[in-house]
Amino acid sequence: MLAKQQLSRTPSSELCVKLAAGGDPIFPFNVKLTGENVAGTSGSFRYFIWLVAQELQSSSLPVLIECPSASAGENKGKFLLAPKNIDYHDEALLLFFGNLLGIAMRSDVPFAIDCLKPFWTRMIGEQIDFDNDLRQSDIITYNFLKGLKSLSTETEFKELVGKTCPTHFSNEECCPGCPYKFSYSSLDGREVELRAGSPLITWTNLNQFIECTKELRRCELSAENMIPLIQCGLEAVVPLEPLRLMGPDDLQLRVCGQQNIDIGFIKLHTIYQVGISQSDKHIEYFWNVVESLTQEDLRKLIKFACNQERIPFSCPCQESGPEASHVPPYPMKIAPAEGRDDRLIRSETCMFMIKLPQYSSEAVMRERILQAINCRDDPLSG
Catalogue the active-site residues: 350
Point out which residues pair with 200 in neighbouring strands: 181
Burial (CB < 10 A; 0-12, 13-18, 19+), residue 93, is buried
What are the backbone dihedrals phi and psi of residue 66, each rounded to the nearest 5 degrees, phi first?
A: -65, 140
- Give the closest residue to 362 by CA, choosing from 339, 338, 341, 331: 341
Helix axes 227-235, 88-107, angle to 10 degrees: 40
Q: How far apart are CA 279 and CA 99, in angstroms?
A: 45
Residue 71 has what DSSP assignment? G
Is residue 242 within 8 Å of residue 105, measured between CB atoms?
A: no
How many Cβ atoms sit within 10 Å of the Cβ of residue 244?
A: 13
Secondary-structure breakdown of the chain: helix, strand, coil percentages, each rounded to the nearest 5: 45, 10, 45
Q: Nearest 10 degrees: CA dihedral of 350, 338, 332, 373?
A: -80
Q: How far apart are CA 105 and CA 370, in angstroms?
A: 31
What are the backbone dihedrals phi and psi of residue 342, each rounded to the nearest 5 degrees, phi first?
A: -85, -5
Burial (CB < 10 A; 0-12, 13-18, 19+), residue 323, is exposed
Is residue 64 within 8 Å of residue 115, measured between CB atoms?
A: yes
